[in-house]
Structure 1
């Protein structure tokens, strides 16, 4: 049996979003899907995986709802489902912006100009263009566009406080990009709010760029938020740019530390993975809750003991 993994988002107001999340979880389970969906008043953000038939039924149901009729799905054919369980949770935002006042940006009202992948490819090397990666450190450390500017972001919610670092580029065309496009909707809107006048975003993100433009000049791999961890994007001039967190050798492999109380995202070569049992450090190998390392570096989250705060 062949499976598919669907990546999508949609900014569209959902009344009683908390109840919608509960009902939507039941619906996804009824189709036999697994994945992770965030529901907020502002819309949906999800990755789901299952049989081709289940995925087709899911897309049909989403498109049949007038609130989500324009949702675009990035579809990957996979050998096995990309998740273990099905989660659908209500949160305050579908991507956490870190803004106390979310009213200052609304992607449905004002956002960067959408560039289709082929247009992004044609425009990205122009002299008056700056390519801006709006993803977190562990993502762009694994792979990014050639000559892209990256910011020191532990999480996307750190982005607003980093905008001042970009002031020197206000007279340039800013081309933002992220994995699937959802972060750029808010990042580009925020740049416009702060006086950047010529702001664009890669429509559909890195994933769509790989499918429609061959991934040219995307260096390394693209981090994804499922058990594949990373996917190839560039079919034109691929390269490996990431290095092992422990020894510095070139490696395309990313893992989560086997110590669940650390769970750090790191790039790690196979040799160090075996030596450190999938941990980021010797100290983490001694944790009594260390998870068995199977070579993948992907783990189903383990519940924390009562009284401990989960970092997973």
Structure 2
């Protein structure tokens, strides 16, 4: 019997009074005992939520019942326990920060790369005139990526626009973009098209959907996810580990956040180094007076919040 699930989703669809919607949506999520993280902007929704199978079903029904979000596609994972401890729903200017001063030049609802379903993406991977482009950040593709993919030296997606000129040499190629769930590719592919790349594609549903529908073939390593699981397996066909310990260089699939809250660096770290450094990325970080206790996971939360008991709608959470 499935006890808990985690839902990953996004939807580009205009939301009037989005800040008010975010407040009301937070109350709704709490009322059905969900936990997770949702970003609301005028341009749409971006979220990962977790809870009982019944709560997740109620949430999906509510989203699809709203005419603005009827096309929302959910990636569903069965999990042994909720993937978050708190429920956040925050209003921001974009559901994925593009780093553009003029965000009007890209609108995924008007122009974006051609969707490739996972099986189509897998079939195109070995074509000679194809460039596979990872649009995620360093710490994500260091943990796992498609074989022969081009990766970018960026710390956040907002740095992606600065990479366009460096990619210009691939303008005559087919560009296949991919990311975790598809949301970054919507804007990345739109921006490539804006800058004169003519043959641009995107992996529909991202790495997560690819793992479910194409077995994850030729995806090396694990996929970073933005919840307390930190990383998930993707490849059930020809899996391998490509990440190495930040400290000693030993192969390891484990990723942590540095226990020093003022550092909080995303790194891959083996258990031996984690134990020796108490979950810190360096010896220097081990002396910080506010270091968080290392429990072996390298994932840290601020305030516990149960999900299997009734949560009052008036409760507020700030983050």
Confirm or deny a common fold (TM above 0.5): yes
2:177 aligns to what? Answer: 176
Deviation at 1:124, TM superposition (A): 1.3
Normalization by structure 1: what TM-score? 0.96
Number of aligned residue pairs: give it: 303
Residue of structure 1 equivalent to 2:293: 292
Match of 2:230 in 1: 229
Rounded Cα–Cα distance in structure 2 between residues aligned with 1:286 and 1:60: 49
Give runs of ≥4 in structure 1 deviating > 2 Å. Answer: none
Q: Which residue of 1 aligns with 2:311?
A: none
Q: Secondary structure at the match of 1:266?
A: strand
Task: Report the equivalent of 1:283.
Answer: 284
Distance in 2 (alpha carbons) for counterparts of 1:283 and 1:301: 23
What is the CA–CA distance in structure 2 between the aligned matches of 1:152 and 1:179, rounded to whole Å?
17
Q: Distance in 2 between matches of 1:91 and 1:166?
A: 29
SS at match of 2:142: helix
Match of 1:309 in 2: none
Structure-2-length-normalised TM-score: 0.94
1:158 aligns with 2:159: yes
- 2:66 aligned residue: 65
Correspondence for 1:79:
80
Secondary structure of residue in 1 paired with 2:226? coil
**2:50 counterpart residue number:** 49
**Structure 2: distance between partners of 1:291 and 1:282:** 15
Summarize the alignment of residues 1-312 of structure 1 with structure 2, pairs less than 5 Å apart: 2-301=3-302
Paired with 2:257 and 2:75, the residues of 1 have a C-alpha distance of 25
SS in 2 for 1:110: coil
Unmatched 5+ stretches in structure 1: 303-311
Partner Cα distance (1:158, 1:256) in 2: 21
Q: How far is the alpha carbon of 1:125 from its aligned partner?
A: 1.0
Residues 159-206 of structure 1 show CA distances to partners (whole Å, capped at 9, x for unaligned) of: 001111111100000000000000000000000000000000000000
- Cα deviation, residue 2, structure 1: 1.1
CA distance in 1, matches of 2:71, 2:10: 10
Report how far residue 301 of structure 1 moved.
Answer: 4.2
| CA shift digits 1:46-73 (9 cap, x unpaired) | 0000000000000000000000000000
Relative contact order (alpha carbons < 8 A, sep ≥ 6): 1 or 2 greater? 2
| Structure 1 counterpart SS, 2:50 | strand
Partner of 1:307: none
Query: Alpha-carbon deviation of 1:261?
Result: 0.6
Where 1:207 maps in the other structure, the secondary structure is helix
Structure 2 counterpart SS, 1:108: coil
Distance between the aligned counterparts of 1:4 and 1:186, measured in 2? 28
Cα distance in 2 for residues equivalent to 1:154 and 1:162:
12
Looking at structure 1, the residues matched to 264 and 131 of structure 2 have their Cα atoms a distance apart, in angstroms, of: 33
Q: Distance in 1 between matches of 2:215 and 2:113?
A: 23
User: Please, which runs of 5 or more residues in structure 2 have no aligned partner?
Assistant: 304-318
State how far apart, in whole Å, the 2-side matches of 1:196 and 1:190 are.
9
Question: What is the RMSD computed on CA atoms of the aligned residues?
Answer: 0.9
